[in-house]
Structure 1
Amino acid sequence: MSKNHETPLPITTLEEFHTVGAGYDIVRYIGLPDVFGHQANTLLYFMGKNIARKFVFQSVSDIVYAFDKLGWGYLEVR
C-alpha cells in the first residue's frame, strides 16, 4: 500500500480512460517543460513511479496492457 494509504487501483480502471491523440504529448513535451523547465524530466519520472504504485499488476501481461492503454508504447516479452 502507498504511503498515503490509498486503496490500490485494479488494472481494469484503465478501461475508464478515453484519452487518445496529442493531449499527452502536448502536456509532456510542451506544458511541463514550460512550467518546470529542466526539472520536467524529474517530475515525469516521479509521476510515473507513483502512478505505477497505484495499480495492482497481477502479471507481465497486465504491464503490457497498461503501457498500451496509456499510450506509452508497445512492450513485447521475448
Structure 2
Amino acid sequence: LNFKPLPYPIAYTLATGMEWIYKYLLPDQEPALTCYTLGLLAFSQTLDITSAKIKLRYEPGISIEQGLDEFVQYWKL
C-alpha cells in the first residue's frame, strides 16, 4: 500500500461529512472515520504523569514495560 498524507482540515471535513451521512442516511451503521478517531490518529497522545508523582505522590502500580507486555499477551489470545 502507498499512503499519501492528507492535510488535517481536509480529513476533518471528510470525517464531518461521513458522520452526517451515517447519522441521517445510515443510522444503523458506524462511519469508517469520525472526528474523534481522526483526532486520535492525527495528534500525539503522550501523557506526562510527573506532576501527579510530585504533587500527589502517585506511584504507578506497574511499569510501562510491564503494562505493554500485559497488553501484548492479552491481544495474542
TM-score in same-fold range (> 0.5): no
With a CA cutoff of 8 Å and minimum separation of 6, indicate the structure with the bigger relative contact order: 1
Q: Report which of the two has the higher share of helix.
A: 1
Q: Report which of the two has the higher share of strand.
A: 1
Q: Which has the larger radius of gyration?
A: 2
TM-score, normalised relative to structure 1: 0.32
